[in-house]
């Protein structure tokens, strides 16, 4: 499912109006009707409505909503924030209609008008927030910010029109303050700000309404941002043939685990195997071999001589490189330790291995000191940083990344030509070609140690099975999140641990692909 930036939505509206001759006023009518359709599902005829409108087209949608609710016999009050002489073109047509209908309209120009607003809100069952949509252009200040405070403080139930006012449609950031809606009805396509946090939380329940934008217009735009859906995932996992053997499902080589961190290796290996992988080889310090063998008997281990207790060194590089010749993927990083030994190994691997690679955790920590190694890579690489790791890789603060995760992931993917999986509450996958895939499942219960290792294992397993790395990353992130949600459904979010996701993984895959 496509998702858009404000500017893209404006272009879509403009093309619809100018190229296809569908007047903006019709789109506005459809938008308003879409909201009314949702309202009447939830609220009976004795409900009272306060509709708070800005002077742009978002306010115009509000005027349409006011008219239809009034015609249906609901009690409606409209408040306009700012001078009504500045109302924009299409909105003005609808404003004049509600004037002609003698609907109760109040102007909010300054603080002295706020008392009327407070009374209006307190006497209403529902408040409709049609103050700002995709046209919000800066921080909210002055009287508008007071109006938003009043909405949040005194409303019983808020419907936001398109985007909660005060939320930036591009990145979901709060522009100093924003409306906390119970439901948001967005039009045509979901906006990034509806999906990314904190915007997603401010939306409450999000509903997408068709407003009559021709399909051709959307196709023409060549939109690059997507929400991951089950359809994308379902169609990408290959069918297992009856006449097959373990070689048919790929070989994965994994470098993970060190003294004190064998758990990361175990979780990575187990989840790779649970995702349908044929054969897994783990390169591990010899003193840790026994722990792995007893915990993941299905893994083949390659015990390596150690430099220090439980840490392998560059002296093993020949064996590691040799082993990649018949492998389909090489994964490096989980639980390896942020050591100079790993750094040396990673440098050689990036420069010499021509098989797809997954770099995670300590692999990223050592890479962050030498990102330029990526320019020497011989293969497709997937990196899976969480916000802290992305901060180290880019030199940006975590706050900066959170403010614009799509841009940060996209820029990194394009600059270094790597598939970038930026993990957070909304994991973002960016490709070197500028495509972006946003994952919307998963839950806070998954914010625990080990869940990242599980994701790395799943990606490893799917790449080994022959799925191209970008697709493998997309599928894995979705299935990982969905499995976490299924675990949380039964166990709740508090007791969820990474191992639970591994246990449930086969069932999720079975249900998603339907076999």
Ligand X SMILES: NC(=O)C1=CN([C@@H]2O[C@H](COP(=O)(O)OP(=O)(O)OC[C@H]3O[C@@H](n4cnc5c(N)ncnc54)[C@H](O)[C@@H]3O)[C@@H](O)[C@H]2O)[C@@H](O)CC1
Distance CA 66, CA 108 (A): 17
Among residues 128, 167, 177, 211, the one that binds ligand X under rule CB under 6 A: 211
The answer to whether residue 21 forms part of the interface with ligand X (CB under 6 A) is no
Instruction: Indicate the residue among 65 and 280 with the shorter CB distance to ligand X.
Output: 65
Dihedral in degrees, nearest 10, Cα atoms 245, 248, 250, 251 = 40
Residue 133 in the binding site for ligand X (CB under 6 A): yes
**Interface with ligand X, residue 386, by CB under 6 A:** no
Residue with smaller CB distance to ligand X, 185 or 265: 185
Q: What are phi and psi of 166, to 5 degrees?
A: 105, -15
Single out the residue of 47, 165, 394, 465 in contact with K ion (rule: CB under 5 A).
165
- Closest CB to K ion among residues 130, 479: 130
Does the protein bind K ion through residue 161 (CB under 5 A)? yes
Name residues whose C-beta falls within 8 Å of residue 178's C-beta, 6 or more positions apart in sequence. Answer: 140, 148, 164, 165, 166, 167, 199, 202
User: Which of 446, 284, 264, 438 minimizes the C-alpha distance to 362?
Assistant: 264
Q: Which residues pair with 191 in a beta bridge?
A: 4
d(CA 239, CA 221): 33
Beta carbon nearer to ligand X, 53 or 345: 53
Kindly list the distances between the CA atom of residue 438 and the CA atoms of 4, 329, 430, in Å, as whole numbers in the listed order: 12, 24, 9
Strands 3-4 and 190-191: parallel
Task: Answer yes or no whether residue 140 interacts with K ion by CB under 5 A.
Answer: no
Q: Where are the alpha helices (DSSP H) in 275-404?
A: 289-295, 317-323, 340-352, 362-367, 387-394, 398-403
Q: Which stretch binds ligand X (CB under 6 A): 55-63, 150-158, 218-226, 461-469?
A: 55-63
Smallest distance, Å, CB 12 to ligand X? 9
Identify residues 368-387 at the interface with K ion (CB under 5 A). none
CA atoms within 13 A on the CB side of 26: 13
The entry of K ion, ligand X, none near residue 333 (CB within 5 to 8 angstroms by kind) is none
387 interacts with ligand X by CB under 6 A = no
Q: Which helix (H) or strand (E) holds 27?
A: helix 24-42
Reduce the DSSP state of residue 136 to 3 states and report it: coil
For the bound state, the minimum distance from the C-beta of residue 179 to K ion, rounded and expressed in Å, comes to 7
Q: What backbone torsions phi and psi does residue 237 show, to the nearest 5 degrees? A: -90, 120
Spell out the SS3 assignment of 216-271: HHHHHCCCCEEECCHHHHHCCCCCCCCCCCHHHHCEEEEECCCCCCHHHHHHHHHH
- Closest to ligand X by CB, 18 vs 503, is 18
Binding mask 35-54 for ligand X (x = CB under 6 A): -------------------x
Q: Which of 469, 463, 459, 466 is nearest to 244 (CA)?
A: 466
427 known ligand binder: yes
Residue 136 or 501: which CB sits closer to ligand X?
136
Site for ligand X in 175-194 (CB under 6 A): 187
Closest approach of Cβ 132 to ligand X, in Å? 5
- Interaction with ligand X in 446-485: which residues (CB under 6 A)? none
Q: Does 173 bind ligand X (CB under 6 A)?
A: no
Nearest approach, Cβ of residue 154 and ligand X (Å): 21
With CB cut-offs between 5 and 8 Å by kind, which of ligand X, K ion, none does residue 137 bind?
Answer: ligand X
CB of 44 to K ion, least distance (A): 24
165 binds, options K ion, ligand X, none, Cβ within 5 to 8 A by partner type: K ion
Q: Which is nearer to ligand X, 53 or 422 (CB)?
A: 53
Q: What angle do CA 425, 427, 431 make, to 5 degrees?
A: 165
Q: Is 133 annotated in some ligand binding site?
A: yes
Residue number with CB closer to ligand X (137 or 375): 137
CA 256/CA 275 separation, integer angstroms: 18
φ, ψ dihedrals at 441, nearest 5°: -100, -175
List all residues 6 or more positions away from 238 whose beta carbon is below 8 Å from its beta carbon. 465, 466, 467
Q: Is 155 in the site for ligand X (CB under 6 A)?
A: no
Residue in 5, 28, 327, 509 binding ligand X, rule: CB under 6 A: 28
* Contacted by 55, from ligand X, K ion, none: CB < 5 to 8 Å by type: ligand X
Cβ 436 to ligand X, closest distance in Å? Answer: 21
Q: Is 168 in the site for ligand X (CB under 6 A)?
A: no
- Strands (E) across 19-163 are located at 48-53, 75-81, 104-108, 126-130, 158-161
27 part of the interface to ligand X, by CB under 6 A = yes
**Nearest approach, Cβ of 91 to ligand X (angstroms)?**
7
Taking the C-alpha atoms of residue 112 and residue 143, their distance in angstroms, rounded to an integer, is 10
* Contact residue for ligand X among 15, 47, 58, 391 (CB under 6 A): 58
- Window 70-129: residues binding ligand X (CB under 6 A): 88
Taking CA atoms, 50 is separated from 29, 249, 391, in Å, by 19, 60, 44
60's contact among ligand X, K ion, none, with CB below 5 to 8 A by partner kind, is ligand X
Residue with smaller CB distance to ligand X, 23 or 434: 23
| Binding stretches for K ion (CB under 5 A) | 129, 160-161, 165
| Binding stretches for ligand X (CB under 6 A) | 13, 24, 27-28, 31, 54-61, 88, 132-140, 144, 161-162, 187, 211
Binding residues for (6S)-NADPHX: 57-61, 133-139, 162, 264, 335, 386, 453
Binding residues: 57-61, 129, 133-139, 162, 165, 264, 335, 386, 423-427, 452-453
């Amino acid at each position: 499912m496509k998702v858009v930036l404000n500017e893209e939505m404006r272009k879509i509206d403009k093309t619809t109006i100018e190229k296809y001759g569908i007047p903006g006023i019709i789109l506005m009518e459809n938008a308003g009707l879409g909201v009314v359709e949702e309202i009447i599902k939830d609220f009976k005829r004795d409900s009272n409505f306060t509709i708070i409108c800005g002077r742009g087209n978002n306010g115009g949608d509000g005027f349409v909503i006011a008219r239809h609710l009034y015609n249906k016999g609901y009690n409606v009050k409209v408040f306009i924030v700012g001078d009504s002489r500045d109302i924009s073109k299409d909105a003005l047509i609808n404003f004049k209609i509600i004037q002609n209908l003698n609907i109760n309209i109040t102007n909010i120009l300054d603080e002295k008008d706020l008392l009327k607003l407070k009374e209006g809100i307190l006497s209403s069952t529902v408040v409709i927030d049609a103050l700002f949509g995709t046209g919000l252009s800066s921080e909210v200040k002055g009287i508008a910010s007071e109006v938003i405070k009043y909405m949040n403080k005194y409303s019983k139930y808020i419907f936001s029109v398109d985007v909660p006012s005060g939320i930036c449609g591009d990145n979901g950031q709060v522009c100093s303050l924003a409306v906390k809606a119970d439901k948001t009805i967005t039009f045509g396509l979901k906006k990034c700000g509806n999906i990314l946090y904190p915007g997603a939380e401010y939306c409450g329940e999000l509903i997408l309404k068709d407003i009559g934008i021709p399909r051709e217009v959307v196709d023409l735009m060549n939109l690059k941002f997507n929400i991951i859906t089950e359809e994308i995932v379902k169609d990408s996992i290959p069918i297992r043939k009856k006449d097959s053997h373990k070689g048919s499902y790929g070989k994965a080589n994994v470098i993970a685990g060190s003294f004190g961190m064998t758990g990361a290796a175990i979780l990575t290996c187990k989840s790779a195997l649970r995702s349908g992988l044929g054969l897994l080889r783990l390169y591990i310090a010899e003193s840790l071999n026994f722990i792995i063998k007893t915990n993941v008997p299905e893994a083949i281990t390659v015990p390596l001589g150690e430099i220090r207790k439980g840490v392998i060194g560059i002296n093993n590089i020949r064996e590691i490189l040799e082993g990649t010749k018949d492998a389909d993927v090489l994964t490096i990083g989980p639980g390896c330790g942020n050591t100079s030994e790993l750094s040396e190994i990673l440098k050689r691997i990036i420069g010499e291995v021509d098989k797809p690679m997954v770099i995670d955790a300590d692999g990223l920590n050592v890479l962050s000191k030498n990102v330029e190694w990526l320019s020497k890579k011989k293969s497709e690489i997937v990196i899976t940083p969480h916000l802290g790791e992305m901060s180290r890789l880019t030199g940006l603060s975590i706050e900066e990344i959170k403010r614009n995760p799509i841009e940060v992931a996209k820029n990194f993917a394009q600059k270094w030509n790597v598939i970038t999986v930026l993990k957070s509450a909304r994991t973002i996958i960016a490709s070197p070609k500028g495509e972006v895939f946003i994952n919307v499942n998963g839950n806070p219960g998954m914010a625990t140690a080990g869940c990242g290792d599980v994701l790395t294992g799943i990606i490893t397993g799917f790449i080994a099975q022959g799925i191209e790395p970008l697709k493998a990353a997309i599928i894995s992130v979705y299935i990982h999140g969905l499995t976490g949600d299924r675990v949380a459904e039964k166990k709740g979010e508090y007791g969820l641990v990474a191992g639970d996701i591994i246990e449930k993984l086969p069932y999720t895959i079975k249900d998603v692909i339907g076999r």
